[in-house]
Structure 1
Amino acid sequence: MNKFYIFSSPSLRAILQFSIITSLLFVSLVGHVKSVEALIESSADKVENKNKKQRVFSLPKPMLDELMKNMVLVEAGSFAMGSDSPLARNREKPVRQVSLDAFYIGKYELTQDLFEQIMGWNNSFFACDKCPVNNISWFNMLLFIERLNSATGKEFSLPTEAQWAYAAKGGNKSQNYRYSGSNNINDVAWFADNAKNKSHPVGLKKPNELGLYDMTGNLWEFCLDDMSRQAYTFTESHNPFMGDKENLKQKAMKVIRGGGYEFSATENLVFMRDGATNNVRMADIGFRLVMSKN
């Protein structure tokens, strides 16, 4: 005899109860998963932050001693910035009086050994420890300086254009030479006629009046300022600076000074200025450090 099983239809109350229980279980499960995810993310963030805090940049004492020994004091003073030479372009005009507080500036362009010690890499062309570092962007320079300051407890910076120009002309010891330290470019610079299309180790030519080397030729040197053809008209006369120091990491054209190994004698005149974007890397652009006297 066949048996038939008859199932009664569930009541609305039962359906609602089942639905409520299922919803509660789902909410509980989702909440648990989110709690686990939050815990994992929180732990990962803590590990990442901990690793960042533990990253320490260091400079061996002999290298620090050499670096500090090579920072040259530039006494406070005033000078004529710009040029009224027939060879001067609009970007180098007008001539104006500028005054500056005292500061220290590197005797040499920053060398590859020091850069690599702090950064852990060196992509320079013409590699050698005492050759000037190159093929790095202005942003790379800024990061290097941040790490160098962390390693040394000092406050190094890129020079403002006014600081660079004052130092290149010899500060308050200036003899008003055409190039930095001489009227004969061969005495003080690696340039198109003698460099053989490459940069050279720092300090092989004669220094300028302040004892600074390669302020003319070898590599162009980045400054802190934004490049503007009207900068000499717009900026203030005491400690002038063109740009926004509160927002240095925005893309901009930056001033380069000093000429370079591929450029002619005329293009290496001490007043010449040019510009390059802060993300560009070139074989003929480097930098030197400054530090406040205070």
Structure 2
Amino acid sequence: MHSMVDIPAGAIALRDDRLGTRWEVTLPAFRLGRYPVTGADDVPVASVSWYDAVALCNKLSAEDGFPAAYEISGEDVTLVDSSPGYRLPTEAEWQYACTAGVPAYRYGGLDEIAWYANNSDGRAQAVGQKVANAWGLHDMLGNVWEWCWDLYDPATYGSYRIFRGGGFDDPDRSIGSTVRRRSHPTFAIEDLGLRLAQSVVTA
């Protein structure tokens, strides 16, 4: 079973500086992985596309005895709202959890909390070595970027999806809770991975 953290309900203000828009999202309680999904030697899984990430969520759900959170038919992916299975966080959930519900750019000194260009030796590092945030989440910033569920801007970018958090090769200015990146859902690169989320399903 994956180590999941209970995240309390709350609200988060988001913004898109490119479009000059701001909005607020109210979030029910949910669960988020204590660490990014890892492979060998506890190093984050990376070089996964968004399509790979949702498929991996379903695979890990099955391994841990949960029903699938996604119905996948080719490039058509639908979230099953009532499923307790693993899924990608929304970007609102990700940003809210990143700084433990308190709006901030970071949750500590950069070298203490994150692997990035100045300290990573140019590669992803085993998770859990840096200081966690106030909710016990590790590596929310740095190490690998993390795919989110959301479309970025369908009117302009079509199927592009969002990823958050910064990676091991990024400079300090790119490592912050409000930094938003996007790419085509087939995009995969060595510093882009994922973190599991779960909806809290009540009977």
- Matched residues in 2 for 1:80 and 1:209: separation? 19
Q: Percent identity?
A: 31
Deviation string, structure 1 residues 207-257 (Cα, Å, up to 9, x no partner): 1121111111110100011122989xxxxxxxxxxxxxxxxxxx8211010
Size of the aligned set, in residue pairs, is: 182
- Matched residues in 1 for 2:57 and 2:4: separation? 15
- 1:55 is matched with none
Question: Which residue identity lines up with residue 98 of structure 1 in the other structure?
Answer: V
- 1:74 is matched with 7
- Matched residues in 2 for 1:145 and 1:95: separation? 30
Q: Which has the higher helix share?
A: 1
Instruction: Say which of 163, 169, 173 aligns to 2:93.
Output: 163
Question: Which residue identity lines up with residue 201 of structure 1 in the other structure?
Answer: A
- Matched residues in 2 for 1:149 and 1:178: separation? 32
Gaps of 5+ in 2: 67-84
- 1:145 is matched with 57
Note if contact 1:254-1:275 (Cα within 8 Å) is conserved in structure 2.
yes
- 2:74 is matched with none
Question: Which residue identity lines up with residue 33 of structure 2 in the other structure?
Answer: G
1:197 deviates by 1.2
RMSD of aligned residue pairs (Cα, Å): 2.0
Deviation string, structure 1 residues 54-93 (Cα, Å, up to 9, x no partner): xxxxxxxxxx2xx1xx20011111122238xxxxx425x5
1:1-294 equivalences under 5 Å are 64=1, 67=2, 70-82=3-15, 89-90=17-18, 93-112=20-39, 128-154=40-66, 155-171=85-101, 174=102, 176-179=103-106, 181-182=107-108, 184-228=109-153, 252-294=159-201
C-alpha distance 228-169 of structure 1, shift in aligned 2 (>3 A): farther
- Bigger Rg, which one: 1
Question: Which residue identity lines up with residue 99 of structure 2 in the other structure?
Answer: K
- Matched residues in 2 for 1:277 and 1:106: separation? 24
- Matched residues in 1 for 2:18 and 2:99: separation? 20
Note if contact 2:42-2:126 (Cα within 8 Å) is conserved in structure 1.
yes
- Matched residues in 2 for 1:137 and 1:190: separation? 21
Deviation string, structure 1 residues 112-163 (Cα, Å, up to 9, x no partner): 1xxxxxxxxxxxxxxx330000112211121122222223232110111111
1:185 deviates by 0.8
Note if contact 2:154-2:160 (Cα within 8 Å) is conserved in structure 1.
no
- Matched residues in 2 for 1:134 and 1:260: separation? 10
Gaps of 5+ in 1: 1-63, 84-88, 113-127, 232-250
TM-score (norm 2): 0.83
- Matched residues in 1 for 2:154 and 2:7: separation? 27
Question: Which residue identity lines up with residue 107 of structure 1 in the other structure?
Answer: R
Deviation string, structure 1 residues 252-289 (Cα, Å, up to 9, x no partner): 21101001111111111210000121112210100000
Note if contact 1:90-1:229 (Cα within 8 Å) is conserved in structure 2.
no
C-alpha distance 129-279 of structure 1, shift in aligned 2 (>3 A): same
- Matched residues in 2 for 1:132 and 1:96: separation? 31
TM-score (norm 1): 0.58
Question: Which residue identity lines up with residue 59 of structure 2 in the other structure?
Answer: R
Q: Which has the higher strand share?
A: 2
